[in-house]
Amino acid sequence: MEGFFDQATLLLVAAVVGVPIAARLRLGSVLGYLLAGIAIGPLLGLIGAETETLQHYGEFGVVMMLFLIGLELEPRVLWAMRDKLLGLGGMQIALTTAAVTGLAFAFGQTFNVALVLGMILSLSSTAIVLQTLSEKGLMRTTGGKATFSVLLTQDIAVIPMLALMPLLALPAAPYLDASGAIVRSSPIAGAAEAHAPATLIHGLPGWQATLVILSTIVAVILAGTYLSRPIFRYIHMAKLREIHTAAALLIVISIALLMTMIGLSPALGAFLAGVVLASSEFRHELEANIEPFKGLLLGLFFMTVGAGIDFQVMADNAGIVVGVTLALVLIKGGVLYLLARTFRLKRRDKWLFTLGLAQAGEFGFVMTSFARVENVLPPRLSQIMLLVIALSMLLTPLLFILYDWLAHRIGEHKDATDTHSPDQIDHTGPVIIAGIGRFGQIVNRMLQMGGVKPTVLDHDLAAVELMRQFGFKAFYGDPTRPVLLHAAGLKEARVLVAALDDPHATTRLVKYARSQRPDLHIVARAHDRVHVYELFQAGADDIVREMFDSSLRAARYVLENMDFSEFEASEIEHAFYKHDRMTMRELAPLWKPNLPLRQNAAYMARARELNKELETAFVSVMEEEEQATRAETVPKTVA
């Protein structure tokens, strides 16, 4: 089938028909895309040779997804996750690589080939797993966070893996040409080399290729750190949204091109650029501009994976492909289950972690092709590896269905958040409440009592529907999305209440709102003392710790039952409240995001001084109370 419009119409029809059916059957959108690709590819033969070209476009969806993931991870967040990244993620890669390498070596592969197979198969599918976790509302669970940590570690590990592969390349075996002379390279290797994509590192010695790769990565990091803000400010002068969109696409495409030129995965380069730009004030603008392209291209990627399955090659090697795929799932599942028990994940989280990562990943396609070009993997083994990777990815939605069944059987299953489209907001007011949980409900009810009609947003559909049943108007959608915030009247609102359950989401919301409205009054819900400091630096005006006021009341009740009068307990409560607020204002400027509190000498010294002042304040309150009591008991003299 020729012609752009023919192909585009066919792919869109397959997606529009297949994905809703899969969603209705609770199979997930990923499996819907994969089955749609199989239907129009191997089964009906509507697309054929152009599948590989389409897959290159689809892979750009993975590039965009990694860029958006990077935008969500500031360097300090990565540093805070170092234990899971190095521990859980590092052990998963090391143990899986060792197990697959040992098994391949035992079946007659050379050590170099076995090691490359181990590295390739140790990776899991970032695209499918994250998409499925988001759809099922499992990203915030303990198992979801552990799964994300491992995926992030794998994405980072691709860089040294690709840098190592040129060093593992072996010289081609000698053979006899037509004249009987011995030559050092085979016709197959020569043909592969002739058709290999031209890269900056092509033909370089291993150490030089590694140096070029590392230098390019450093250049991307430096450019993102020092050039991004001047460029964005220049673009912002045009005040045209389409130029912002063009700039966002230009950044991703340029980085993808640069990574391709040095033989690296463009997705990893995009991820690094996203991490570098995570602290930029233009981060949310980039997210809003790229998100629509990412969704469509990811769907195209999954469809091309299904369409690219060669059933003829699979039929010729059915036993090997199916056997290796099942062995891969069992080996990875065993390693993941062992790590889940070692890190004491609960039953439901343990099975989510085990079954969610037991497949190969999309980076396996890139690494297999790269290993073939570098003459590490022979052609037949490369074809089998591609089939194993595709088949294991095809099994992933079925593994998640198995997880749902297991979670239900062990009695810990929670209904996943329904995936509905955000509501159309038809009401805007002077106050926006983002989050309608226990905290936001009280704020909303008190404002309603005062005659103020706020605009309420929440990403929990069940909570929104419950609010509507009680007669309160609320809108479903993710409050951290810039598009939704602006639709809720961010530009006209006087007050924003950031009351989300997720502390990181609350901080992101406050940062974005402050960047858009310097004059907006922001009241933010803080999870703990450190979160107060983060919100303070993000630009919140009033910060309320979610447990602070209730803890004060509880302490007052204890004092009243320890022989203190109600008045004395109330005065102590008031004195502590005033001192604590003063303490937070004093310590907030001294807090450093990337420095642990114990290593922050200025913070710790001032905190000790303020604790002594608290003791002094308590003594002063008690002395004043004692003097007041004595004055009341002394008889008044009559003049």
Q: Is residue 510 part of a domain?
A: yes
Among 356, 379, 409, give the residue marking a domain's end: 409
Residue 222 scores a pLDDT above 70? yes
Show the tokens assigned to 567. 């008045």
Please report the pLDDT score of residue 530 as a whole number: 81
Domains identified in the chain, total number: 2
pLDDT of 250 strictly over 50: yes
Residues 403, 540, single domain; the answer is no
255 pLDDT more than 90: no
Among the candidates 409, 441, 458, a domain finishes at: 409
Residue 404 and residue 440 in one domain? no
Would you say the C-alpha torsion 137, 55, 73, 477 has a positive or negative sign?
negative
Alpha-carbon distance 227 to 544, whole Å? 37
Task: Identify whether 240 is part of a domain.
Answer: yes
pLDDT at 1: 46
Task: Give percent of the chain with pLDDT exceeding 90.
Answer: 9
Contacts of 113 (CB under 8 A, 6+ apart): 104, 376, 377, 378, 381
Specify if 425 maps to a domain: no
Residue 101's pLDDT band, with cuts at 50, 70 and 90, is very high
Highest mean pLDDT among 197-201, 437-441, 504-508: 504-508
- Look at residue 259 in the predicted model and tell me its pLDDT: 78
Cα 76 to Cα 278, 593, 596, distances in angstroms: 10, 7, 11
pLDDT tens string 514-525: 998 999 999 999
Is residue 178, in this structure, part of any structural domain at all? no
Between 541 and 187, residue with greater pLDDT = 541
pLDDT in tens, 332-360: 999 999 998 888 887 788 898 899 899 88
Distance CA 131, CA 129 (A): 5
Phi, psi of 542 (to 5 degrees): -120, 125
- Provide the pLDDT confidence category of residue 599 given band limits of 50, 70 and 90: low
Is the pLDDT at 191 greater than 70? The verdict is no
Give the pLDDT confidence score for residue 427 in this predicted structure. Answer: 59
Q: Say if 210 falls within a structural domain.
A: yes
Q: Could you tell me if 593 and 514 lie in one domain?
A: yes
Tens-digit pLDDT profile for residues 322-332: 899 999 999 99
Report the percentage of the chain scoring pLDDT > 70: 76
- If one compares 184 and 283, the residue with the highest pLDDT of the two is 283
Q: What is the mean pLDDT of the chain?
A: 76
Within this chain, do residues 396 and 439 fall inside the same structural domain, yes or no? no
Least confident of 88-102, 428-442, 579-593: 579-593
177 lies in a domain? no
State the pLDDT at residue 122: 92
We report the CATH number of the domain holding residue 122 as 1.20.1530.20
Range of the domain at 444: 431-633
Residue 97 pLDDT more than 90? Answer: yes
CB of 256 within 8 A of CB of 268? no
Do both 371 and 459 map to the same domain?
no
Q: Examine the domain organization and report whether 136 and 214 are in the same domain.
A: yes
Do 447 and 552 belong to one domain? yes
Q: 85 with 225, same domain?
A: yes
637 pLDDT tier (thresholds 50, 70, 90):
very low
> Are residues 365 and 228 part of one domain?
yes
Contact 442, 426 (CB under 8 A): no
Between 338 and 315, name the one with better pLDDT.
338
**Mean pLDDT of the 389-409 span:** 83
Give a yes or no: residue 196 inside a domain.
Answer: no
Compute the distance between CA of residue 113 and CA of residue 493 in angstroms, rounded to an integer. Answer: 61
Same domain? 557 vs 449:
yes
Query: Residue 181: inside a domain, yes or no?
Result: no
Mean pLDDT over 628-639 rounds to: 46
Regarding whether 396 and 456 lie in a shared domain, the answer is no
CATH number for the domain spanning 599: value is 3.40.50.720
Q: Are residues 393 and 456 in the same domain?
A: no
Higher per-residue pLDDT: 462 or 152: 152
Looking at 358, 375, 409, the residue that finishes a domain is 409
Q: Judge whether residue 230 has pLDDT over 90.
A: no
The pLDDT value recorded for residue 186 is: 36
Looking at per-residue pLDDT, the higher value among 389 and 305 belongs to 389
